């Protein structure tokens, strides 16, 4: 286009813009109804426990983080705020029982928190300083259906299971008596009896600095913890499995303790896997727990986070409120997800079985099912844990 043509084109566009502006200015402005602000002063609060599950592999951890909104805690508080069960987190008297890292799931995560209540008295009911009842306050005798309301706005991979009223001083963190973790894995080429022997050595009070990730930055300098019990048991076995396919049998390591350190379970599982692969003796657990003999942690990779579940948080004297209707809905939702995953799993399993029937594979047995849960490449020549380079000691951090 020539200069004159370009100037003419610009003038046409400017005229069209002005025409559109005139059209917009003549359109009646749509009326926006101002949302009425919820009056929390009309309600008392109630200190309760909430028990819920979540599938951690979809989230970047449980605890709220500055660099991502994709955490379970962030989604949970978004639901609490949206349903007007809390006015803000800062005044909610909130405690969590456990904090799980990215990829880790939970079945009975428990929080204690002050929620809006319909009642004016009862266990856990608190009268705020600014409480201003209205004419309807005394007539509200049925408690809010916390589970139904929250599950109505939470995503399907986070489900509230039950609630319970508790004393206002009760803390889900400090009043928890014991916590149970479960770690699921396929048998593969692992020697389960050796792993059971190693797991048994964990029971009791020990210094676990060599079987965790030191969190000195957050002020953790005491690494003594109590393991109450360990159990290694078979979960499932394919009906069509024979001696050649025993590697697909699923197992679970269950560890019960009073409290746990950062990455403690994943470090424990990593060492138990080395024992199961006959690369370490079961007694390596005792060696790592002996901080006089081994004050510095040898370098090794943690086991995968995906199979780990905070499975239970146990308290004394709690009367949980369950709903058949809500648990039925949760069951249907979990069954839907289970079906989708199980169908895919069976398709893979069928393919794997048929590969073994190929004539050239008749003398070959591949049992690497558990390898994927042990990140990193296994060196051609294995170096024992106690001969490896060491991490910094507690005093050096």
The yes-or-no verdict on residue 27 having pLDDT over 60 is: no
Read off the CATH number of the domain in which 101 is found: 3.30.70.580
| β-bridge mates for residue 234, sequence order | 251
Q: Do 77 and 89 contact (CB within 8 A), yes or no?
A: yes
Dihedral angle, C-alpha 163, 167, 172, 175, nearest 10 °:
-130
350-377 per-position pLDDT tens digit: 999 999 889 998 888 888 889 999 877 7
Identify whether residues 101 and 228 lie together within a single domain: no
Q: How confident is the model at residue 35 (pLDDT cuts 50, 70, 90)?
A: low
Kindly state whether residue 310 falls inside one of the protein's structural domains.
Answer: yes
Classify 208 in phi/psi space as left (phi over 0), alpha (psi -120 to 50) or beta: alpha
Is pLDDT larger for residue 1 or for residue 203?
Answer: 203
Count the neighbouring beta carbons within 10 Å of the beta carbon of residue 218. 7
Question: The whole model's pTM is what?
Answer: 0.87
SS3 10: helix
Kindly state whether residue 259 falls inside one of the protein's structural domains.
Answer: yes
The yes-or-no verdict on residue 29 having pLDDT over 60 is: no
Structural domain range at position 100 = 40-165
Q: Degrees (nearest 5) of the Cα angle 319, 320, 325?
A: 145
Average pLDDT over residues 312-338: 97
Query: What percent of the chain clears pLDDT 70, i.e. is strictly above it?
Result: 92
Identify whether residues 148 and 194 lie together within a single domain: no
The yes-or-no verdict on residue 37 having pLDDT over 80 is: yes
Q: What is the phi/psi pair of residue 111, to 5°?
A: -125, 155
pLDDT value of position 82: 96
- How many CA atoms lie within 13 Å of 9's alpha carbon, on the beta-carbon side? 6
pLDDT value of position 198: 98
pLDDT value of position 8: 74
Last residue of a domain, one of 115, 136, 165: 165
Identify whether residues 304 and 204 lie together within a single domain: yes
Q: Give the list of residues 6+ apart from residue 255 with CB closer than 8 angstroms, or none.
A: 180, 181, 182, 183, 199, 202, 227, 229, 230, 265, 268
Work out how many domains the chain is built from and give that number: 2
Count the neighbouring beta carbons within 10 Å of the beta carbon of residue 355. 11
Distance CA 71, CA 62 (A): 5
Distance CA 277, CA 378 (A): 12
Distance CA 42, CA 337 (A): 41
Identify whether residues 127 and 243 lie together within a single domain: no
Instruction: Judge whether 134 counts as a catalytic residue.
Output: no
pLDDT value of position 238: 56
Q: How many helices (H) and strands (E) does the chain have?
A: 7, 10
Kindly state whether residue 9 falls inside one of the protein's structural domains.
Answer: no
Identify whether residues 236 and 378 lie together within a single domain: yes
Q: Give the list of residues 6+ apart from residue 140 with CB closer than 8 angstroms, or none.
A: 118, 119, 120
* Token pair for 372: 């994927």
Kindly state whether residue 251 falls inside one of the protein's structural domains.
Answer: yes
SS3 336: helix
Average pLDDT over residues 229-252: 80
Q: Give the list of residues 6+ apart from residue 118 with CB closer than 8 angstroms, or none.
A: 43, 140, 141, 142, 143, 144
Last residue of a domain, one of 165, 187, 210: 165
pLDDT value of position 31: 53
Kindly state whether residue 343 falls inside one of the protein's structural domains.
Answer: no
Distance CA 95, CA 114 (A): 10
| β-bridge mates for residue 313, sequence order | 179
Query: Of the listed 101, 191, 287, 371, which one is catalytic?
Result: 101
The yes-or-no verdict on residue 337 having pLDDT over 90 is: yes
In whole angstroms, how far apart are CA 317 and each of 131, 164, 175? 30, 10, 11
Q: How confident is the model at residue 107 (pLDDT cuts 50, 70, 90)?
A: very high
Identify whether residues 159 and 255 lie together within a single domain: no
Last residue of a domain, one of 106, 132, 165: 165
Identify whether residues 147 and 117 lie together within a single domain: yes
Q: Give the list of residues 6+ apart from residue 160 with CB closer than 8 angstroms, or none.
A: 50, 51, 52, 146, 147, 150, 151, 154, 326
Is pLDDT larger for residue 35 or for residue 198?
Answer: 198
pLDDT value of position 23: 58
Identify whether residues 134 and 227 lie together within a single domain: no
Identify whether residues 155 and 196 lie together within a single domain: no
pLDDT value of position 343: 97
Average pLDDT over residues 311-330: 97
pLDDT value of position 350: 94
Identify whether residues 262 and 381 lie together within a single domain: yes
Kindly state whether residue 173 falls inside one of the protein's structural domains.
Answer: no
Read off the CATH number of the domain in which 378 is found: 3.30.70.660
pLDDT value of position 338: 96
Burial class (CB within 10 angstroms; exposed 0-12, middle 13-18, buried 19+) of 308: buried
Average pLDDT over residues 74-101: 95
Kindly state whether residue 171 falls inside one of the protein's structural domains.
Answer: no
The yes-or-no verdict on residue 286 having pLDDT over 70 is: yes
Report the mean per-residue pLDDT for the chain: 90
Distance CA 48, CA 8 (A): 72
125-160 per-position pLDDT tens digit: 999 999 888 877 777 789 999 999 999 999 999 999
Kindly state whether residue 238 falls inside one of the protein's structural domains.
Answer: yes
Q: Degrees (nearest 5) of the Cα angle 302, 315, 318?
A: 145
Average pLDDT over residues 288-315: 96
pLDDT value of position 282: 98
19-28, 32-41, 273-282, 381-390 — which one is most confidently predicted on average? 273-282
Distance CA 186, CA 348 (A): 14
Average pLDDT over residues 278-295: 96
């Amino acid at each position: 286009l020539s200069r004159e043509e370009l100037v003419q084109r610009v003038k046409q566009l400017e005229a069209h813009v002005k025409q559109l502006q005139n059209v917009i200015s003549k359109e009646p402005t749509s009326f926006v109804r101002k949302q009425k602000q919820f009056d929390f002063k009309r309600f008392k609060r109630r200190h309760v426990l909430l028990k819920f599950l979540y599938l951690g592999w979809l989230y970047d951890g449980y605890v709220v983080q500055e660099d991502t909104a994709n955490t379970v805690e962030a989604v949970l508080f978004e639901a609490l705020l949206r349903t007007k069960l809390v006015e803000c987190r800062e005044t909610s008297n909130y405690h969590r029982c456990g904090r799980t890292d990215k990829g880790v799931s939970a079945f009975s995560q428990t929080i204690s928190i002050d929620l809006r209540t319909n009642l004016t008295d009862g266990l856990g009911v608190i009268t705020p300083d600014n409480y201003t009842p209205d004419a309807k306050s005394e007539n509200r005798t049925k408690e809010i259906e916390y589970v139904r309301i929250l599950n109505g706005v939470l995503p399907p991979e986070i489900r509230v299971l039950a609630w319970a009223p508790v004393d206002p001083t009760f803390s889900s963190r400090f009043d928890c008596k014991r916590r149970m973790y479960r770690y699921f894995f396929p048998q593969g080429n692992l020697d389960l009896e050796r792993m059971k022997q190693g797991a048994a050595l964990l029971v009791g009070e020990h210094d676990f600095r060599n079987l965790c990730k030191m969190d000195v930055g957050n002020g953790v300098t005491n690494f003594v913890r109590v393991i109450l019990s360990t159990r290694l048991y078979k979960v499932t076995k394919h009906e069509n499995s024979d001696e050649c396919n025993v590697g697909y049998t699923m197992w679970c390591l269950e560890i019960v303790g009073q409290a746990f350190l950062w990455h403690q379970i994943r470090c424990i599982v990593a060492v138990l896997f080395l024992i199961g692969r006959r690369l370490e003796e079961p007694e390596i657990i005792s060696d790592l727990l002996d901080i006089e003999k081994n004050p510095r942690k040898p370098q090794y990779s943690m086991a995968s986070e995906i199979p780990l579940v905070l499975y239970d948080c146990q308290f004394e004297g709690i009367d949980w409120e369950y709903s058949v209707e809500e648990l039925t809905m949760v069951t249907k939702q979990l069954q839907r997800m289970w079906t989708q995953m199980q169908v895919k799993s069976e398709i893979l399993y069928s393919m794997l079985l048929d590969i073994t029937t190929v004539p050239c594979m008749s003398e070959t047995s591949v049992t690497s099912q558990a390898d994927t849960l042990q990140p990193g490449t296994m060196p051609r020549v294995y170096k024992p844990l106690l001969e490896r380079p060491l991490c910094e000691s507690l005093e050096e951090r």
